[in-house]
Amino acid sequence: MISIPILPSVVDISVNVGKVPSLNAFYAGKHWIVRQKAKNKFKSEILDQLNQYDPIKLKSVTIRAEVNYRYDVDNCIMVVKFAMDAFKEWGGIDDDNPKHFNKLQIVYNELLPKDSAKVFFIGEKKD
């Protein structure tokens, strides 16, 4: 009899992200075109990493962002925004509304390289 491994229903996908602008810097008098270019740059970098995984769709997702930026943890939210936009575009989640994305955690991690972050997408696979 052939044993077929059962894949776990909980998925953990991670991507590495370079230095993103702080929330304050992102919105401090910047023209929308400057913000759009930054968003597109980081989304593209994250999509490149997500495309290394087999396609998967989650019922809902929790994001854990580990960061080592030089600014306050509460200003690191842009890394979550860029990552979630990329994850949604990649097809990992139907939408980023509260039904599908209802929890996030941002944690300072001094072991990461300076000015970098690691973002984890954690959730249960959709049937």
pLDDT tens, position by position, 2-60: 444 444 566 778 888 888 888 888 777 778 888 899 899 999 999 999 999 998 999 99
- Which pLDDT score, from 0 to 100, does residue 5 have? 44
Q: Give the burial string for 48-81 (b: 16+ CB within 10 Å, else e).
A: ebbeeeeebebebbbbbbbbbbeeeeebbbbbbb
* Residue 99 backbone phi and psi in degrees, to 5: -65, -35
Residue type, 112: L
Strands (DSSP E) contained in 1-127 are: 10-17, 61-68, 101-108, 116-124
Residue type, 75: N
Of 90, 79, 107, 4, the closest CA to residue 52 belongs to 90
| Residue 58 near residue 123 (C-beta atoms within 8 A) | yes
* Helix H or strand E segment including 64: strand 61-68
* Residue 67 backbone phi and psi in degrees, to 5: -130, 150
Going along the chain from its start, the domains and CATH numbers come out as: 11-124 (3.30.1330.70)
- Which pLDDT score, from 0 to 100, does residue 19 have? 86
* Per-residue pLDDT reduced to its tens digit, 52-101: 999 899 999 999 999 999 889 999 999 999 999 999 999 999 999 999 99
